[in-house]
Each structure stands twice: as structure tokens, then as C-alpha cells.
Amino acid sequence: MSDIYQHFRKEEQPFIDQALEWKRIVQEQYRMKLTDFLDPREQVIAASVIGQADSVGLALFGGYDGAERKRALLYPDYANPEETDFGLQAFEVHYPEKFVSIDHRSLLGSLMGIGLKRQKFGDLVFAESAVQLIVTAETADFVAGQLTQAGKAKVNLEKISLSDLQIPARDVEIRDDTVSSLRLDAVCASMSRQSRQKALTLVKNGLVKVNWKVVEDPSYQLAEGDMLSIRGFGRSSLTKIEGKTKKDKWRVTFEKQK
């Protein structure tokens, strides 16, 4: 068992233990196990730890193709999961848009403000003509009753089907590069296309987040699936780490949200 942990960060051990417990439940009780929403890094860990063993399958779904946050469904090998098994409910947010506006930050803050844990809701969708969100089905009624304001806007929620989600076209830049190491400062330098010294300053000044948490240690080791937010340079995900080159550099792929 300890061999599993050596491939991950120490702070990820509790999540690994949780994923292994989910797997045990499916193996011993022969039933599906549905998780809350997982961020991209947690999805990578779950896929690695649970894998596609002979007795347990793993499926991920967040309401639409390309969703960032997804629920994981573990199931016995004889089962055939369907979309309804993921327990998702979508809402459209109605508000007086002629007078006020809603942005991602205000909606996220309002959802957290009603006492909803981040794991209970998925992506917030901002299309040209609609603001929508996805939550776990078990919290849907609570959210509909409690979320009455987002920022300065009075809001009310209308349940919609997942097929009615208005997903804007993804505007991303996918870039392959090589980095001298997987240290945070080295990867930040590549992502922001700055010198290593300037990236180091950003990290030490608390302007860099890894998986939504500020990390001020330049030597912090990044891993596949990590999401980075660099103040002034937007968000990028480290989607692939493909080994080393002959010059001992890491081949990596970034996906930056424009």
C-alpha cells in the first residue's frame, strides 16, 4: 500500500485513502459509489489509484463534454453507468440583467456564502445569453431555496436539463514545451513566458495558486492535472508530463484559458 503514496504528494494522502475506501466499498458491497465533484488533479489521482481494475470501473462526468469539475462514479464490472447515475442538476440563474451584472467571482462567493461546500457544485457556465450552474442533485432544493442573491443582484433559479446548458466554445491555447524541472518557479516561468527570476518573485509574493490554493514555495513539485493561476497571466493546466528529453528536460503540455 505504501508504494501507492510514493507517487503522490504527502498532502494528497488523505484523498488517496478516500479513493481506496470508495474502491473497497464497490468491491465488497457490489454497488455503485458516487463522489462529490472532483477538481482536475483529484480526477487524475482517482484514475491512477482506482484505475480500471477487473472488478471496479471508473467514470467521470460533470454535466457536459469538457467540464472542468466532475463527479466520479465507481461501479462493479457488470454495471453499465448512465448519465442519470451521476446525480446532476443544472440551473439557469435569472436576474435583472438590464440593471446589474453577475460575474464568476460573485456567483462563486454567493454559493459558498450559503454554506455550500465547493465539492457540491461543479462548473459555473457563463454564456452570452445565460448564466448557469451545475450542482449535485441531493443539494439542488437547498440551493434553489437559499441562493437569492449574487453580488448586488437579486437572483432566482430555474431547474433545467443538462441538454439545455449553453456551453460557450472553448477558447484555449494548447502549447508543448520543455522545462528544466517540475518546480513551481520553473513551470511558472514557462507558462507566463517570463524569466525564472521573475516567476520566482511571483511565487514568493503569493501571486500563484496551485489547485486554487496559494503556494509560496518555489521548489513545490508540480504534477499532471495541476491547475495553476498566475496573477496577471490567467489560468493554465498542466495537462501532460511526457517524460524527459535527451537533454534531461521534462516534456510538458499546457492548456491555457484565454
Residue 257's pLDDT band, with cuts at 50, 70 and 90, is confident
Mean pLDDT, the chain, rounded, equals 92
- Residues 189 and 135: their CA atoms lie apart, in Å, by 35
- Digit-coded pLDDT (tens) for 226-245: 999 999 998 899 999 998 99
SS3 224: coil
- Residues 241 and 257: their CA atoms lie apart, in Å, by 19
Determine what percent of the chain is predicted with pLDDT higher than 90: 78
**What pLDDT does 53 receive?**
61
Class of domain 88-164: alpha beta
SS3 54: coil
**What pLDDT does 98 receive?**
85
Which homologous superfamily does the CATH classification assign to the domain defined by 172-257?
RNA-binding S4 domain (3.10.290.10)
pTM: 0.83
The set of residues, in sequence order, having a beta carbon less than 8 Å from that of 198 and lying 6+ positions away, is 189, 192
Q: Residues 131, 125: contact at Cβ < 8 Å? A: yes
DSSP state of 1: -
Q: Residues 73, 59: contact at Cβ < 8 Å? A: yes
**What pLDDT does 77 receive?**
87
- Digit-coded pLDDT (tens) for 83-124: 999 999 999 999 998 888 899 999 999 999 999 999 999 999
- Residues 245 and 239: their CA atoms lie apart, in Å, by 18
Q: Which residue type occupies 104? A: H
Q: Residues 62, 37: contact at Cβ < 8 Å? A: yes
Helix residue ranges per DSSP H, 94-138: 104-113
51 has a pLDDT exceeding 80: no
Would residue 118 be called left, alpha or beta, if left means φ above 0 and alpha means ψ between -120 and 50 degrees?
alpha
Q: Residues 163, 63: contact at Cβ < 8 Å? A: no
Phi and psi torsions of 126, nearest 5° = -115, 100
- Residues 255 and 258: their CA atoms lie apart, in Å, by 9
Q: How many CA atoms lie within 13 A of 85 on its CB side?
A: 16
SS3 15: helix
Q: What is the dihedral of CA 112, 115, 117, 118, to 10 degrees?
A: -10
Residue 52's pLDDT band, with cuts at 50, 70 and 90, is low
Over residues 213-218, mean pLDDT: 93
**What pLDDT does 170 receive?**
74
Class of domain 2-85: alpha beta
Helix residue ranges per DSSP H, 68-206: 104-113, 140-146, 184-192, 196-204
Over residues 75-81, mean pLDDT: 91
Q: List, by residue range, all CATH 3.30.1370.160 domains of the chain.
A: 2-85
